[in-house]
Structure 1
Amino acid sequence: MNRETQLPHFREHFYRRERRSIPRARAFVRAALGDWGAAARCDDVLLCVSEMTTNALLHGVPPGRGFRVMLWLEHDGVLRIEVHDSGEGTPRMSCADDDAECGRGLLLIEMLADKWGVGERSPGKVVWAEFAGCCARLRQAGTLHGPTGTGAA
């Protein structure tokens, strides 16, 4: 069995409420994508990770807290990214004012991800995005299996 087959297809990491957490989260996701051979949509994924983590840092993480990034490579080859924070409120897109400084990141996520949304957690929320087709190489190689096989999340 090769190393790629043995890799877990789930990863998570916790980040503190500090600016350097955003590039660290991108590096974490980039490393996972590299390990999983998921380069097809890497730029789109990393841009969405930047937006999601920036939103968490600026709007969702109270002082003294942090946020968690979770990645799943699902059995059908779909990559799911979740950013968990403990802040109140629900993210909203802003498209009414071209000079608005808030809400544009969600517009980018809307355009780049195949699906995205916001879920509840206690305390806080989960912002998630899914990307199909970025893991096609693993799927074609047969290293992804269904829920009972190696690599299931």
Structure 2
Amino acid sequence: MQLEIRPDPAEVGRARRWARSRLAGSGIQADEPLAETLILLVSELVTNAVVHTGCPAVLLLSLPHAVTDEATVRLEVADRSVRAPVPRCADDDTTGGRGLALVDGLADRWGWSAEGAGKRIWCELDCGAESRDASACGSGAVPYGGAATARAGIAYEAV
């Protein structure tokens, strides 16, 4: 499944809505922490592509056929910029610069690779309970949009 992204900040919201709609048929409920984390990662990676490259991008989402402890969700954003993603150190007063730190803290794995005249940034989320709290893939969901989720010492709420 893929979505073409224009270099426009409004595309970030469209990417989140698209990802949520794909989750609906996957067995991953929108109110599960896994879904909340995935939507936040979509937001961060698409924002980086739109803001830092000024180029169109493609969002790819690979969902498991069946959600099991061994299943993995993969998210990729490919763009036409050769600029490497650079994690930044943002101080308390800075309003940006935390995207890759969030990706690093929330994803089980992430990375990037040069591809032709551009690059691909990817991240993966495991559905297994050992990588996330016990409610990660369906056992004890958190109400969507109403409660914060915590992982690896990071608290967040995807809206």
The residue aligned with 2:151 is none
For residues 119 and 97 of structure 2, what CA distance do their matches in structure 1 show?
A: 16
> Are 2:112 and 1:112 equivalent residues in the alignment?
no
Q: Structure 1, residues 106-153: CA drift from partner, whole Å, max 9, x if none?
A: 00011111001111111111111101107957xxxxxxxxxxxxxxxx
Which ranges of structure 2 fall in alignment gaps of 5 or more residues?
Answer: 129-135, 139-159
The residue aligned with 2:120 is 126
Checking the alignment, whether the CA contact within 8 Å between 1:60 and 1:124 is kept in structure 2 is: no
Runs of 4+ in 1 over 2 A off after TM superposition: 73-76, 95-103, 134-137
After superposition, the CA RMSD in angstroms is 2.1
Range moving further from structure 2, 98-107 or 75-84: 98-107
Percent identity (aligned):
34
Report how far residue 61 of structure 1 moved. Answer: 3.1
Report how far residue 74 of structure 1 moved. Answer: 4.6
Checking the alignment, whether the CA contact within 8 Å between 2:26 and 2:64 is kept in structure 1 is: no
Higher relative helix content: 1
Which ranges of structure 1 fall in alignment gaps of 5 or more residues?
Answer: 1-10, 138-153
The residue aligned with 1:48 is 41
In structure 2, the residue corresponding to 1:25 is in which secondary structure? helix
The residue aligned with 2:24 is 34
> Are 2:12 and 1:19 equivalent residues in the alignment?
no
Matched length:
124
Return the index of the structure with the highest Cα Rg.
1
Q: 1:58 to 1:124 in 2, by over 3 A?
A: same
Letter in 1 for 2:120: V
Q: 1:71 to 1:96 in 2, by over 3 A?
A: closer
Q: Which of 1 and 2 has higher RCO (CA within 8 Å, sep 6+)?
A: 1
Q: Structure 1, residues 42-91: CA drift from partner, whole Å, max 9, x if none?
A: 111111110100000011233xxx11000112565201000011012111
In structure 2, the residue corresponding to 1:45 is in which secondary structure? helix
In structure 1, the residue corresponding to 2:76 is in which secondary structure? strand
Letter in 2 for 1:22: V
Checking the alignment, whether the CA contact within 8 Å between 2:90 and 2:97 is kept in structure 1 is: no
What is the TM-score of this pair, normalised by structure 1? Answer: 0.72
Letter in 1 for 2:126: A
